[in-house]
Structure 1
């Protein structure tokens, strides 16, 4: 299927199904995806071959200038964002100046749109880095991915680049002491002759145990809504998502559903 890339540093504002009116920030290259996961459902498509990978992050000063100019433009047009969201063409926390950019974003948000939230959509692969962990702890919506209960499921679904440890990830997520939102995409399908399904009863039960250890302030559950790199993926019904949300509610966590 067709996929797309964000071709600017600042994009939107757009109406997000999870966050409201969102002004996006893309810290990754405009012409290719750059991510520590290679999720089979990613709307940005596949990571390029390592030989073709372009490690060209946007300069931090250019990011700052672009954000300032866009926020001033929106202020002059009386168009306030609900949220300023770090997302884009891959994993935003890979940017070497991520922490400094977050500090600047908080500063200009407080000055121009103090009621706007700051959100980061991250796959949680860089939270072992002290600077990344501390930066994420400063934002309003620290949204971190956990796409299953079993490590094998997450590896099959998210295709980590390099080593991945689910137990270590859960341990690090718990260190946020509740200052995070866990985000999980539910899906069924087939890839590389493997059945992919993170919706089974056994999978959900183990995933719920992880949530108990992590103690997030909220859980976002959703399914695919845009084109994906492969065709053999199935969108999960709203009814199924509601049943999963009920189980999350039973263990005491607020749930937001997107379908």
Structure 2
């Protein structure tokens, strides 16, 4: 399959069938913590990338093959999903053909031009890492055409009209966006947006840039969000151990599809291959030798990621 991967466990959405509707690394941001590496095609221009009918065909096939409950069909690509000008049409076609709910994971940067597309989804997750411009530009490294006040205003306006579930996610990085000024201002903004849930997270996989570390102030942020009456959840763990593999006809192909949107721990890859009666040592060695994947170390753990993922060298 070209567009669909999983199902995979999601810390926010349960069992999620992923849709990668954007070509590799087309994004409006180049976040320092991005788990798929640096953005190579920084853009704010929406365009057609794929045919909605082709995406729908793969979704229907994946649902038939998995034969188990899927909580959400989720647009969570290797880039920003709202850059796809056919996003709304694709969501509508999916919902006309299956009963599953549809979610979109977006950074919210061009929500003003994609609001009608996003309105078709049952759930929208919006990134809000910073509301202080200097911090925003250091952490998210947006396209030069993007203005933080406009982005924040557009998110608030979308919230007023959106009839589905809206959640927010804030990634906290040590010494970059976890300081008190950004804490209080971000908490106040999220309070105004009034999400069903606000998720606070830290990097748990290798980031795009060396030196990016998880914040140790996450529970300080949690307490402030709770003080403002925001339903808040902390995400500081990985979900791989609960991953379902039955949906993959070829486990190696399936694992490579997941690596396209985030690295996987090597011990997890070994576990999955053993479960599918594939020699993990030989399979991993073959993937590395043919240049498909490479090893990356982060926080004392070894990960496998696609070889052309755009990660900075380990410092």
TM-score past 0.5 threshold: yes
Residue from 2, 17, 21 that aligns with 1:23: 17
**Helix, strand or coil for the counterpart of 1:168?**
helix
> For residues 194 and 186 of structure 2, what CA distance do their matches in structure 1 show?
12
**Helix, strand or coil for the counterpart of 2:213?**
strand
**Helix, strand or coil for the counterpart of 2:124?**
strand
TM-superposed CA distance for 1:246, in Å, is: 1.8
Count of residues paired in the alignment: 228
CA-based RMSD: 2.0
Aligned equivalent of 2:59: 67
> For residues 163 and 224 of structure 1, what CA distance do their matches in structure 2 show?
27
TM-superposed CA distance for 1:49, in Å, is: 6.0
Q: Deviations over 1:128-174 (max 9, x none)?
A: 11xx2123233222111111130111111111123222222221111
The aligned runs of 1:56-135 (5 Å cut-off) are 57-74=49-66, 77=67, 79-110=68-99, 113=100, 117-129=101-113, 132-135=114-117
> For residues 210 and 9 of structure 1, what CA distance do their matches in structure 2 show?
34
Is contact 1:9-1:58 (8 Å) kept?
no
Aligned equivalent of 1:193: none
Q: Does 1:163 align with 2:150?
A: no
TM-superposed CA distance for 1:100, in Å, is: 0.1
Aligned equivalent of 2:210: 231
Q: Deviations over 1:72-109 (max 9, x none)?
A: 222xx3x1112211112100110121110111122233
Aligned equivalent of 1:4: none
Aligned equivalent of 1:3: none
Taking a change above 3 Å as real, the CA distance of residues 149 and 135 of structure 1, as seen in their structure-2 partners, is same
Q: Does 1:40 align with 2:32?
A: yes
TM-score (norm: length of structure 1): 0.81
Is contact 1:149-1:204 (8 Å) kept?
no
Residue from 242, 254, 259 that aligns with 2:219: 242
Residue from 183, 194, 197 that aligns with 2:169: 183
Is contact 1:174-1:215 (8 Å) kept?
no
Aligned equivalent of 1:191: none
Is contact 1:11-1:25 (8 Å) kept?
yes
Unaligned runs of 5+ in 2: 237-315
TM-score (norm: length of structure 2): 0.68
Aligned equivalent of 1:199: 178
Is contact 1:10-1:25 (8 Å) kept?
yes
